[in-house]
Chains A and B, each alone.
Chain A
């Protein structure tokens, strides 16, 4: 089913009501002009978006797939629990905030606080793959899951405060040059073969989704960032 977002009704409430109540599995949104909360908490649907969706795209997403042919804005995949979000462009700040499951693939760059406080549980392991580079505070308070930064344009990594407060999960950053200015809670090493094996399927998926050669990416240097200690704040307190 095709919906012309401008024709159907500009307000997000009407648009989302329509999506929520639609019995069709596939929904195509044309001329999307910033409607917020598209696909909030839904599951089992495939939404294809032409244009630019507004903030909180796929918030609490519980399954299914959202594809954006363009850029997405802030808080994409906020508290996402399952499913897939694919963005053929760049995204704004706080991508995948507190995400617990599912996968997000972004062809271009991502803004500040990408993957902040993402966490994993049991079989749920959130994955964020960004083709370009990222703003500061990547993986802040990260508690689980995987973030992969492919840096396909081989930029110098300038995002500050990577993994501040990190207490779980792994961040992979493709870079020839060592990373600078990392906070104390984070350990940084060149990714081993086993490390790369863990993210291979996500990189291959990225490659097939955006038609980019997988081997070129895999045969270069990645750094892997992890927490330094399991409970980084444990020694902070004294019982009074």
Chain B
């Protein structure tokens, strides 16, 4: 059979540097490198390379590099290499194209088209190294009015809240989609940072119940691993209605990934497919959503805030307005660049909207309707640095969710091959030899470093604006200006153009 598909990457080995130690051969689960004894040399099968850079990073003599193949189809601006490649794959397999991680298409990134303000002369900037700077955030429904008893003392009527030391949380990634060690790293880092990580829809491994105070447990349409102890283990419960990388469709963890503890944690037999139907079949309306929200509140005696997570889609503002009225305490919105362990390529690339626009329109709508205090807003998909976070908060977010960024901190090289289950970095895999490559001591330290650095940067930017509390930045759109945006885009974002 003719192979129509050319390798996308080529392995370049510097023969002078290579000492034939065979580290690359041992490290590559895709079997790219092979030592040929007869010829006494290392051979590379570039067609198997996913460009994850494991071999490059571990080569002791730096003899390897991975380059984009310059082998090319006849160039065509319409029929790109990728477009042709996809047709070859489908013509051969008859399958639905499956990809990983967030939308890679060159759509506008609005974070990069917004600029942050700073004080000059008329109000002083603040130095966070010298002066107190508050990044603590409380997520949850806020009381509508202040109530005092007959003696004039305040009545504490604030509904249950999540307390975050900094407005960043690790968003949902299930045990199954990522490894035990990846979960262990996230859990430990969340505890140390006094923030939260999220179990995703795969249940909570028994070893991680001790991190419950820093855990958000997720309930999705498949209800995997959901039972009383699980619901009570976490600090909050998240209902997953949608995911930015695959709005409108469900989840499917193939049977071969349901091994050992993954099966135990999901509470399904080994080797069976874990299918999360696209909708929750008991939710066809806001009233039905309210039913699930309250059944979870009843099941946990109203001690846990309930988050409803949705994908950013066209009518997101109206949908969020409904959710705010459903009794949910927090709305999480996931933009179309949010990552995934596996999603149909077409859904990932063509469905959903940027989180920046979704956030701005939701916050605006909730304020117009006078219900912004009913919910906190958490946004993700994708937040890449502390600048994105400051911009998100200025647009109206209470906090952000990060996942791709957290994975990269742990060593992910964004090769976007999670769906193969052969992650050489020990993150998106269940193969024991690969999982043990990720050391939770090291990875959790790297996560703590990242979030601590970002928090300091947030303080620096806040200080520059003369703001010493994150609360004063939230929804403060005057601190943002657009650059190179149309009137319509500026209107949706609710910001002025640079120079105005």
Contact = CB atoms under 8 A, between A and B. Distances in A.
Interface of A: 12-13, 16-17, 20, 36-37, 40-41, 43, 55-56, 59-60, 62, 74-75, 78-79, 81, 93-94, 97-98, 100, 113, 116-117, 119-122, 124, 137, 140-141, 143-144, 165, 167-168, 230-240
Given A60-B227, A119-B267, A231-B254, 11 more contacts: A12-B294, A13-B302, A56-B291, A79-B227, A98-B221, A116-B281, A236-B96, A238-B89, A238-B93, A238-B95, A238-B96
Contact of B254 (A78, A93, A234): A234
Q: Which 4 A-B pairs have the closest CB atoms?
A: A238-B95, A41-B299, A98-B223, A238-B93
Contact of A230 (B231, B255, B300): B255
Contacts, number: 145
B97 interface: yes
Interface of B: 86, 89-90, 92-99, 221-223, 226-228, 231, 252, 254-255, 263, 267-269, 271-273, 275, 277, 281-282, 291, 294-295, 298-302, 344-345, 417, 419-420
Given A98-B226, A232-B273, A75 B267 contact: no
Contacts of B281: 94, 97, 113, 116-117, 137, 140
Contacts of B273: 143, 167, 231-234
A235 B89 CA distance: 14
A111 B290 CA distance: 21
A40 B299 contact: yes
A81 B417 CA distance: 35
Contact of A233 (B223, B231, B252, B301): B252
Contact of B295 (A78, A234, A239, A240): A78
A63 B96 CA distance: 42
Contacts of A113: 281
A62 B228 contact: yes
Interface centre among B222, B263, B420 (most CB of A within 10 A): B222
Contacts of B221: 98, 117
A238 B97 contact: yes
B282 A37 contact: no
Contacts of B291: 36, 55-56, 75
A230 B86 contact: no
B238 to A, nearest CB: 15
